[in-house]
Structure 1
Amino acid sequence: MSLVVGLMSGTSLDGIDAALLRCQADSRPQLLEALGFDMPAPLRQSLWSLCHAEGIDFAELARIETQFCRLQAQAVAALLAKSGVNATDIAAIGSHGQTIEHRPDGNFPWTCQLDNPNLLAELTGCPVVGDFRRRDLAAGGQGAPLAPAFHNALFRHDTQWRVLLNLGGFANLTLLPPHNSALPVTGFDTGPANVLLDGWHARHRGENFDSGGQWAASGRVDNNLLKRLLEDPFFDRSPPKSTGREHFHLDWLQPRLADETPADVQATLSELTVESVARALEQALTSEQRATAGLIVCGGGVHNGYLLRRLEQRLAPLELMPCEAFGWSPDWLEAGAFGWLAWRRLEGLSGNLPEVTGAAGPRILGALYHR
């Protein structure tokens, strides 16, 4: 039995999620404690500038990386204080880092997560496992998504199909066939989710996100705009596939706009997420499988009531199932996944699913930095 901490900072750049897990062989990972640690506005802006930089000053990169790492250490300290656990009791911290660029396709595939596991181990007094994605990339995979292996450990059912939909900056699916099936677990990114919704809302309303989807609900879906957005080749690509902010961003959106009102654009961006998820499911599952599957939704998008209502209407008869029924809050699954991947690294177990990422085979992910 091992206690591990998972750290995750997603594409929204709103903060660091920290989760404390208990992991052991032949048992589902247990969530013991979790918290969200807000990203200071200056650091958020610095990270945002790196994500869209045409050139990078290495001294500035080092400064931002150090600030980010110190914030991670503060999140770990707060989590351990909240849970009453000593740093010496932690087998490892699984640190995803902050994705700056993710370009898994082409002649020179690469991915870059801003992280400093050496400094994090020094500051926390805990072993750290970092750099999870590049081992899968080296084996010919996309390096993402990595969470489906964790979803498999948590949610797979003996006789029922289950689908997990993560609504973070980007939307991704994990398709979990029943244990009595010979079919493999699969998963892939379907397209943008909060990354465009948050960016458009911030541009026009001055706040980082559309609380409850209220602004989107005040608009009208523009089907002509939706059609133009869905013409992007990414949506028609077959899995394995992953994407990121370097593909979908407001500069991608701008030339596709005509004279729509800002609220109508927000409603249409919500519908883009809904429709791209729905089409992906229709391609991946038969109508019979969809009719009997349960849909578990997680990520920050679960707090967008308008988006969830539209998903429920569009994806029927898929039954929406709460993460809480399985002992997990939908907010902590991604952080939990990287804690679990760190445990897998310690145990010498593979962390990727080749059917998901396209890698040549199972690989042990991450590098270990001792306390």
Structure 2
Amino acid sequence: MQKLFNIAHKSTKTGIGLMSGTSLDGLDIALCSFTGSGLQTQFKLLQFTTIPYPQRFKDEVQQVFARKTADLEQVTLLNAFIGNYHGELVLEALADWGIDPDTVDFIASHGQTIYHAPKRLHRQANYPNATLQIGDGDHLAVKTGILTISDFRQKHIAAGGEGAPLALYGDVLLGSKAGENRILLNIGGIANLTYLPADGEPAKILCTDIGPGNTLIDAACRKYFNVAYDQDSAIANSGKVNEDLLRALLHHAFFEEASPKTTGPELFSLIYVEQAQFRTGTEHIRNEDLVCTLSMFTAVVIETFVKTNIMADNLHIFVSGGGARNPFIMTYLKQALADTPITNTASLGIDPDAKEAILFALLGNEALCGEPMTIGNNPAVLMGKLSFPG
């Protein structure tokens, strides 16, 4: 406890943020330094890497990922295995950077989401919002010898939230600018955004999931083309949008629900796509046309949400996540929102690939020395559970 006290009171802390998303590409590892907390936080990205996951690991996680029923033994084994495995990857990254683990004050780990179940989706009257991330923090801490903060989403739910998106807290601290309306748009597996008003009024800040990001595109690429994703939109650009299927995909109550709201691959899966294809008789369209239509689906969902809920004068959109490198989606958004400058978060000094890992490192810093912040109708809580290495 004395060591924890000493870390919490350091003027500058060195922390690692870990992010493993629904795309299962690999583990994002961001080494950051932090001075201060809350709105006075100053940070610097010292190192960043993504270590790809081997196919065998992806296959094992997919067995329990976003499924209503799963092998309980497999979930239990993966919970311990992922914590230890992520610890190994952290040590590998630190060795590559020539950094002694003893100089790192903390690790902030998102873990691996395997099921996200807000009450709006599970609709079971006697049960609350729920979510589950595996990759136990104790295993990470013992493996690396570094204080680990993990399982951030549970406190958010316990305090009345849905456990996502947690980007809100970091986006407010790192992305706000007086006099400029901003949207920080992350297109990961799921697309989410944070709206930061020019006047800084907390009640106007909005952080919400929008709908599918890359999840459906990637799933279709894996199934029909045996590739992890649509590199440079080559598949989408060789296809044609099927308008009937697109309309069916856009027809879901989720898009009409009030924000903030959350979703995941539990809803937006290939089953969702197959049901839409069945309703429209489009089961036999070319695979290229399917990927093209799914890419347009993501782009139109983002465009519609922005135009319906946020359009404001002097608005600037900053994009991060894998979708920021999808030419099909980005070209469409720049044309559809032609009066709104759209760039990636590098123009804010935030590596767009590293952004989510940075945000979890920041949440770790807040857990150690911050104070709960009231932002709109979001829970004012400090998140994360502490795991000591010894």
TM-score range, shorter chain: over 0.9
Equivalent of residue 171 in structure 2, options 151, 155, 179: 151
**Equivalent residues of 1:141, 1:354 under 8 A apart:** no
Q: In 2, distance between residues paired with 1:104 and 1:328?
A: 30
Structure 1's 240 and 68: CA in aligned 2 closer, same or farther, altered over 3 A? same
How far residue 53 of structure 1 moved from its aligned partner, in angstroms, is 4.1
| Deviations 1:155-202 (CA, angstroms, capped at 9, x unpaired) | 211111111110100100110112455653211011001100000111
Q: In 1, distance between residues paired with 2:372 and 2:47?
A: 25
Query: 1:12-23 alignment to 2 at 5 Å?
Result: 12-23=23-34
Percent identity of equivalent pairs: 30
Equivalent of residue 63 in structure 2, options 37, 49, 64: 49
Query: Residue 368 of structure 1 aligns to which amino acid in structure 2?
Result: L
| Deviations 1:113-134 (CA, angstroms, capped at 9, x unpaired) | 0121011100000000011011
Q: In 2, distance between residues paired with 1:252 and 1:31?
A: 39
Structure 1 stretches of 5 or more lacking a match? none
Query: 1:169-318 alignment to 2 at 5 Å?
Result: 169-179=189-199, 181=201, 183-257=203-277, 258-259=281-282, 260-286=285-311, 289=312, 291-318=313-340
Equivalent residue, structure 1, for 2:87: 73
| Deviations 1:209-242 (CA, angstroms, capped at 9, x unpaired) | 0101111111111222111111111111110100
Query: Residue 317 of structure 2 aligns to which amino acid in structure 1?
Result: L
Q: In 2, distance between residues paired with 1:181 and 1:64?
A: 43
Equivalent of residue 98 in structure 1, options 93, 106, 112: 112
Q: In 2, distance between residues paired with 1:94 and 1:42?
A: 25
Equivalent residue, structure 1, for 2:383: 365
Structure 1's 47 and 320: CA in aligned 2 closer, same or farther, altered over 3 A? same
Tell me, yes or no, if structure 1 residue 29 matches structure 2 residue 43.
Answer: yes
Query: Residue 350 of structure 1 aligns to which amino acid in structure 2?
Result: P
How far residue 55 of structure 1 moved from its aligned partner, in angstroms, is 3.6
**Equivalent residues of 2:66, 2:116 under 8 A apart:** no
Tell me, yes or no, if structure 1 residue 161 matches structure 2 residue 186.
Answer: no
In the alignment of these two chains, the number of paired residues is: 364
Structure 1's 238 and 180: CA in aligned 2 closer, same or farther, altered over 3 A? closer
Query: Residue 22 of structure 2 aligns to which amino acid in structure 1?
Result: T
Tell me, yes or no, if structure 1 residue 2 matches structure 2 residue 20.
Answer: no
Tell me, yes or no, if structure 1 residue 88 matches structure 2 residue 102.
Answer: yes
Moved more, 263-272 or 204-213: 263-272
TM-score normalised by the chain length of structure 1: 0.93
How far residue 367 of structure 1 moved from its aligned partner, in angstroms, is 0.8
Structure 2 stretches of 5 or more lacking a match? 1-11
Structure 1's 350 and 88: CA in aligned 2 closer, same or farther, altered over 3 A? farther
**Equivalent residues of 2:233, 2:327 under 8 A apart:** yes
Query: Residue 289 of structure 2 aligns to which amino acid in structure 1?
Result: D
Give SS of 2:112's match. strand
Q: In 2, distance between residues paired with 1:348 and 1:150?
A: 12
Q: In 1, distance between residues paired with 2:223 and 2:185?
A: 27
Query: Residue 284 of structure 1 aligns to which amino acid in structure 2?
Result: N
Query: Residue 363 of structure 1 aligns to which amino acid in structure 2?
Result: V
Give SS of 1:65's match. helix
| Deviations 1:33-76 (CA, angstroms, capped at 9, x unpaired) | 01001111111111111014444444322322233223211221
How far residue 84 of structure 1 moved from its aligned partner, in angstroms, is 3.0
How far residue 271 of structure 1 moved from its aligned partner, in angstroms, is 1.2
Q: In 2, distance between residues paired with 1:82 and 1:311?
A: 38
**Equivalent residues of 2:80, 2:136 under 8 A apart:** yes
TM-score normalised by the chain length of structure 2: 0.89
Structure 1's 279 and 137: CA in aligned 2 closer, same or farther, altered over 3 A? same
Structure 1's 122 and 262: CA in aligned 2 closer, same or farther, altered over 3 A? same
**Equivalent residues of 1:43, 1:68 under 8 A apart:** no
Q: In 1, distance between residues paired with 2:200 and 2:110?
A: 33
CA RMSD of aligned residues (A): 1.7
Q: In 1, distance between residues paired with 2:134 and 2:358?
A: 19
Moved more, 25-34 or 128-137: 25-34
Tell me, yes or no, if structure 1 residue 123 matches structure 2 residue 143.
Answer: yes
Q: In 2, distance between residues paired with 1:11 and 1:210?
A: 16
**Equivalent residues of 2:108, 2:361 under 8 A apart:** yes
Q: In 1, distance between residues paired with 2:199 and 2:108?
A: 28
